[in-house]
Amino acid sequence: MSQNNTPTPHIGAKYGEIAPFVIMAGDPLRAKFMADHYLENPVLFNNVRSMLGFTGTYKGKPVSVMGHGMGIPSIAIYTYELFHFYGVKSIVRIGSAGACHPDLKIGDLVLAMGACTDSNYASQYQLPGTFAPIADYDLLTKAVNTCKELNYRYMVGNVLSSDTFYSDTPQTEKWMKMGVLAIEMEAAALYMNAARSGNKAMALFTISDHILTGDATTSEERQTTFTKMMDVALSLL
């Protein structure tokens, strides 16, 4: 433990300042937007590397919201520390994703039942085969029910957590053949960290662009208008 009594060098909170249920977004400003617009009495617990994190309540229930950065190495560090050093029991990732299924439209939600990946992250476990990172069933079921109740357009299935945003050899069509709905960059590591620590995790996404049609949203729209997934995430408390 560091001299300022914080468990890790990447998160400035003391133990107990982070709720057992954490909602995470790649963009720390999305976490701030969520704290400002949804949480009651939010308190900043982290500003290390500008990776903003806040703890407050939602309808009286404690919850924290925090950024996790881009890519598997970044989310892997933050979620590992939350699970292992801060007593967090459930993490829900909310993010944007690129659709690769013809039935998805901009603004639709994707609930990641599983997360394929081209990352080497699972090699650290030295498993004698291929690990299948999956969401917590209870969280996934609650998310589906909320989407139905609120009449939000959604699909459930596999996503691809890719290590490359600008690929020299794109492989999208091969993943599409296997039924992958959308591409993002973090869920697989979140699911692996949850499995290894015996905790719960789920990832859900708003479609921000479509690989097949070329449709896309702006960075400002992604930061401030993707609120349906926030509604769903908070319903899981």
The residues that are catalytic are 209
**Which tokens sit at 86?**
């801060």
Phi then psi for residue 163, to 5 deg, are -80, -15
Q: Where is 219: in which H helix or E strand?
A: helix 219-224
Classify the C-alpha dihedral 123-70-234-53 as positive or negative.
Answer: positive
Look up residue 139 and give its DSSP letter: H
- CB of 235 closer than 8 Å to CB of 146: yes
Rounded to whole angstroms, the Cα distance separating 26 from 87 reads: 21
DSSP state of 15: T
Q: Which residue do the tokens 């924290």 mark?
A: 64
